[in-house]
């Protein structure tokens, strides 16, 4: 068995180690791992297969590195989303079934977010996927949970590659309508 991909047999279904290189997973809370079914590939590792119960991260295998609400130099005076530091080219996926409102560079939410997608879930919440290097969706498209939206990048105002993942409730204004992302 290869140890290239680590599996964490905490429970069934097995939580596959969708981990950054060099990360042994011990520092990740269970909720930050993406649940998946462990199936052997040719190298004996795990392949990601999302379960019906949902997606645990918009960047599967990566966790929040700069949280919502952190005070700082942002225009709102605090960080209006959760950041997931991850390499350029990492997959970003829909955290729930949703409709694409905008997919552009930039979107109406501002040039600072770079190339971005805004999606809306059935309960009206809107989610922003910002700083992408590539978009794989277009406005009006319907998405299912786990569907790829694009790739992590460095477009817009960034100091390094990450996904800025932001949630807003109607009427979706910057700052006042931003909430800790949940789904």
Binding site for Zn ion (CB under 5 A): 81, 83, 164
Report the SS3 class of residue 32. Answer: helix
Q: Is-contact 162 86, C-beta < 8 A?
A: yes
CA atoms within 13 A on the CB side of 72: 9
The smaller minimum CB distance to Zn ion, of residues 82 and 102, is found at 82
Residue 113: φ, ψ to 5°: -85, -5
- Nearest distance from C-beta of residue 23 to Zn ion, angstroms: 21
Q: What Cα–Cα distance (Å) separates residue 111 from each residue in 7, 23, 126, 136? A: 39, 33, 18, 19
CB 71: neighbour CB atoms within 10 A? 8
- Nearest distance from C-beta of residue 40 to Zn ion, angstroms: 37
Instruction: Tell me the residue number closest to Zn ion, measured at CB.
Output: 164
The smaller minimum CB distance to Zn ion, of residues 61 and 81, is found at 81
The smaller minimum CB distance to Zn ion, of residues 10 and 76, is found at 76
- Nearest distance from C-beta of residue 90 to Zn ion, angstroms: 15
- Nearest distance from C-beta of residue 135 to Zn ion, angstroms: 18
The smaller minimum CB distance to Zn ion, of residues 46 and 79, is found at 79
The smaller minimum CB distance to Zn ion, of residues 8 and 130, is found at 130
- Nearest distance from C-beta of residue 147 to Zn ion, angstroms: 22
- Reference 103, options 51, 94, 65, 5; nearest CA is 94
* C-alpha span between 84 and 61 (Å, rounded): 10
Q: Is-contact 153 134, C-beta < 8 A?
A: yes
- Reference 33, options 24, 21, 41, 25; nearest CA is 25
């Amino acid at each position: 068995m290869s140890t290239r991909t680590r599996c964490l047999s905490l429970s069934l279904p097995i939580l596959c180690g969708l981990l950054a290189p060099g990360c042994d997973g011990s520092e990740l809370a269970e909720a930050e791992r993406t649940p998946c079914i462990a199936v052997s590939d040719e190298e004996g590792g795990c392949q990601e297969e999302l379960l019906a119960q949902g997606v645990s991260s918009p960047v599967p295998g990566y966790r929040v590195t700069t949280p919502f609400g952190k005070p700082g130099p942002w225009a709102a005076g605090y960080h209006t989303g959760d950041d997931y530091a991850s390499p350029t080219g990492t997959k970003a996926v829909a955290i729930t079934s949703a409709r694409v409102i905008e997919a552009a560079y930039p979107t109406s939410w501002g040039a600072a977010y770079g190339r971005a997608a805004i999606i809306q879930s059935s309960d009206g919440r809107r989610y922003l996927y910002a700083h992408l290097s590539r978009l794989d969706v277009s406005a009006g498209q319907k998405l299912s949970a786990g569907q790829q939206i694009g790739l992590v990048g460095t477009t817009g105002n960034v100091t390094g590659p990450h996904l800025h993942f932001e949630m807003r409730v109607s009427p979706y204004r910057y700052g006042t309508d931003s909430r800790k992302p949940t789904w």
